[in-house]
Amino acid sequence: MGQNTVEVTEDNFEVEVLDSDLPVVVDFWAPWCGPCQAIAPVLEELGAEYSDKVKIAKVNVDNNSSLAQKYQVASIPNLVFFKDGEAVDRQVGFSSKEDLENKINNIG
């Protein structure tokens, strides 16, 4: 994972996401999910290119089901955009880098 991409679990979600000074894009994913694997490199690129504007957090739904339930993640990939500890936007399914850049710029 890139410098601005972190693996997040139920144990560190509050510190890494809710208490983050930067807006956070949380990628709810699973290893068996094809579209999740396809969007991962796009998120890595965005994390590197926008390292001063946003943090990318990855949550494996198989290992962190309570987080998936709390944020009503029914299908993956499911990107939830957080700002100041609040979920402010969401993208379900694969999305282009351009679309995700627009969302990042809107929350930044």
Give the pLDDT band (50/70/90) at residue 5. Answer: confident
The total number of structural domains that make up the chain? 1
86 domain residue, yes or no: yes
Beta strand residue intervals within 4-105, DSSP E: 5-7, 24-29, 55-60, 78-83, 86-92
pLDDT, residue 66, reads 97
103 domain residue, yes or no: no
108 domain residue, yes or no: no
The mean predicted confidence, pLDDT, of the chain is: 94
- Determine the structural domain holding residue 88 and report its residue range: 6-98
- Could you give the 3-state DSSP secondary structure of residue 7? strand
CB 51 within 8 A of CB 1: no
Instruction: Read off the CATH number of the domain in which 18 is found.
Output: 3.40.30.10
65 domain residue, yes or no: yes
Give the pLDDT band (50/70/90) at residue 24. Answer: very high
pLDDT, residue 4, reads 76
pTM of the model: 0.95
Residues annotated as catalytic are 33, 36
37 domain residue, yes or no: yes
Q: What percent of the chain has pLDDT over 90?
A: 94
22 domain residue, yes or no: yes
Q: How far apart are CA 83 and CA 55, in angstroms?
A: 11
104 domain residue, yes or no: no
Strand order, beta sheet including 86-92: 5-7, 55-60, 24-29, 78-83, 86-92
